Amino acid sequence: VVGDTGYDMLTGTRAGASVVAGVLTGAHDAERLRADGATHVLGSVAELPGVLL
């Protein structure tokens, strides 16, 4: 799951996703994304292939 809010991170965690990536392009900062379950915090979606491959 990829998202830019804490709610996205909670959704991914509750769904049991193995990768829950927060992107720092939304309203929430890295601390909030991690607190809500992000397994990875990315500066942009361009970094996503490095997480998945």
Model-level pTM?
0.90
Domain ranges of the chain: 2-52
Which pLDDT score, from 0 to 100, does residue 53 have? 87
Tokens of 16: 């049991």
What CA–CA distances, in Å, run from 12 to 2, 28, 30, 40? Answer: 8, 16, 16, 12
**Spatial separation of the C-alpha atoms in residues 19 and 30, rounded to whole Å:** 16
What are the pLDDT digits (tens) for 6-52? 999 999 999 999 999 999 999 899 999 999 999 999 999 999 999 99
What CA–CA distances, in Å, run from 24 to 10, 37? Answer: 16, 14
